[in-house]
């Protein structure tokens, strides 16, 4: 099942079910629910299942017996398992085993985004029972270790099987020797490594989790060796190329590098020179151009980057917003004084 879409994507791409009032022009199928006793769910609902993320899919399976059976018995829906917010913090090794067992050993894509409870043993058990997995996305699964990931990739590499994608950024303590061991199991000959290097990886594009539909455009492995500090890290490119101010400021021939070596704008991914670095409420860096375009807090006049704004601000009214920091500082004080 393609459960790779974010709620936003699903809203755009998943089939929309017309309201019970039926279609307005009569030329398409009539979706009007017959009056009387509640019956079987409309068959269109079963088509929707393949587009739902795990959280919604599991909720749907509790709606009625036929939906529960449809979710449970159709292996196709479970060939891609993507767990992200809001289920990520609750996903344990045991629940992961249960979820992946739905695929009957045929799981192809395992994407666990920021699933902090998943351990090396949990991952190992899943790959042991699903030898066909060819894409693993486990960014910021902070309980995993480099040694555990190498063991899992090695297990999957038996009998000539090869992973197409491995994303591991945010797993702690990945050293050069771990990176090289991982690369030795990946389908990366010299030409592919060169091609991966030439394909620009931009900070602003990377932070949107991929829909996993078009994996050919993803790098085989998301980490690399930073050309500046020589550490294993995500190595980003600059979208500004010749016009990059930082490149001119530091007289660089190339401004490719990890986020520790080159400060980058969270919104556009461009390098940020010292005189154009702007403050955001979140800890992210913004360039002056992007800073100008974002809505600001009514009190401190700082913006959130778009990602953090989406997470924190449910609705942005025309009267603006008050950021978390100011809310604690000013609004909290105000309530306290009123109570006094």
SS3 content of the chain, % helix, strand, coil (to 5): 40, 10, 50
Tokens of 140: 């910021």
Q: What is the DSSP letter of 236?
A: B
Among 53, 212, 308, 321, binds Zn ion (CB under 5 A): 308
Q: Which residues pair with 165 in a beta bridge?
A: 135
Q: Supply the minimum distance, in Å, between the C-beta of residue 321 and Zn ion.
A: 8
Among 244, 256, 285, 321, binds Zn ion (CB under 5 A): 244
Taking CB under 5 A as the binding criterion, the range among 40-48, 76-84, 216-224, 265-273 that sits at the site for Zn ion is 265-273
**Size of residue set near Zn ion by CB under 5 A:** 25
Among 67, 107, 284, 321, binds Zn ion (CB under 5 A): 284
Among 238, 285, 303, 321, binds Zn ion (CB under 5 A): 238
Instruction: State how far the Cα of 185 lies from the Cα of 191, in Å rounded to an integer.
Output: 16
Interface with Zn ion, residue 267, by CB under 5 A: yes
Interface with Zn ion, residue 282, by CB under 5 A: yes
Interface with Zn ion, residue 222, by CB under 5 A: no
| Residues 11/14/19/24 CA torsion (nearest 10 deg) | 110
Among 75, 140, 183, 300, binds Zn ion (CB under 5 A): 300
Interface with Zn ion, residue 268, by CB under 5 A: yes
Interface with Zn ion, residue 113, by CB under 5 A: no
Taking CB under 5 A as the binding criterion, the range among 1-9, 66-74, 160-168, 280-288 that sits at the site for Zn ion is 280-288
Interface with Zn ion, residue 181, by CB under 5 A: no
Give 15 or 320: the residue with its C-beta nearer to Zn ion.
320
Measured in whole angstroms, the distance separating CA 154 from the mean position of its chain's CA atoms is: 24
Taking CB under 5 A as the binding criterion, the range among 93-101, 152-160, 174-182, 227-235 that sits at the site for Zn ion is 227-235
Interface with Zn ion, residue 326, by CB under 5 A: yes
Helix (H) or strand (E) holding 165: strand 165-167
Instruction: State how far the Cα of 284 lies from the Cα of 278, in Å rounded to an integer.
Output: 9
Interface with Zn ion, residue 54, by CB under 5 A: no
What residues contact residue 333 under an 8 Å CB cut-off, 6+ apart? Answer: none
Give 50 or 261: the residue with its C-beta nearer to Zn ion.
261
C-alpha triplet 184, 190, 193: angle, nearest 5°? 75
What residues contact residue 161 under an 8 Å CB cut-off, 6+ apart? Answer: 131, 132, 134
CA nearest to 171, candidates 251, 250, 114: 114
Q: Supply the minimum distance, in Å, between the C-beta of residue 66 and Zn ion.
A: 43
CA nearest to 309, candidates 326, 322, 292: 322
Among 156, 271, 303, 321, binds Zn ion (CB under 5 A): 271
Q: Which residues bind Zn ion (CB under 5 A)?
A: 226, 228-229, 238, 244, 247, 255, 257-258, 261, 265, 267-268, 271, 282, 284, 287, 290, 297, 299-300, 305, 308, 323, 326
């Amino acid at each position: 099942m393609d459960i790779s879409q974010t709620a936003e994507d699903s809203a755009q791409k998943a089939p929309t079910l017309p309201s019970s009032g039926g279609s307005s022009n009569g030329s398409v199928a009539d979706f009007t629910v017959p009056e009387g006793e509640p019956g079987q769910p409309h068959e269109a609902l079963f088509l929707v299942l393949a587009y739902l993320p795990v959280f919604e899919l599991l909720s749907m399976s509790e709606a009625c017996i036929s939906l529960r059976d449809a979710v449970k018995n159709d292996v196709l829906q479970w060939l891609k398992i993507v767990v992200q917010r809001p289920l990520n913090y609750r996903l344990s090794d045991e629940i992961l085993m249960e979820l992946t067992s739905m695929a009957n050993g045929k799981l192809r894509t395992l994407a666990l985004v920021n699933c902090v409870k998943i351990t090396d043993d949990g991952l190992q058990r899943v790959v042991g029972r699903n030898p066909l997995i060819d894409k693993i996305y486990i960014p910021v699964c902070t309980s995993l270790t480099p040694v555990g990931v190498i063991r899992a990739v090695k297990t999957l590499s038996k009998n000539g099987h090869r992973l197409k994608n491995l994303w591991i950024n945010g797993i702690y303590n990945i050293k050069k020797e771990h990176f090289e061991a991982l690369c030795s199991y990946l389908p990366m000959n010299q030409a592919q490594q060169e091609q991966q290097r030439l394909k620009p990886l931009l900070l602003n594009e990377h932070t949107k989790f991929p829909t996993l539909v078009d994996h050919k455009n993803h790098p085989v492995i998301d980490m690399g060796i930073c050309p500046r500090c020589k550490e294993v890290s995500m190595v980003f490119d600059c979208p500004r190329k010749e016009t990059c101010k930082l490149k001119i400021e530091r007289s660089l021939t190339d401004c490719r590098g990890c986020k520790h070596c080159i400060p980058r704008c969270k919104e556009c991914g461009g390098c940020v020179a010292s005189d154009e670095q702007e403050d955001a409420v979140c800890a992210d860096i913004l360039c002056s151009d992007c800073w100008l375009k974002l809505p600001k807090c009514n009190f401190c006049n700082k913006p959130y980057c778009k990602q953090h704004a989406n997470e924190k601000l449910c609705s942005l009214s025309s009267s603006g917003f008050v950021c978390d920091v100011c809310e604690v500082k000013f609004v909290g004080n105000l309530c306290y004084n009123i109570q006094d």
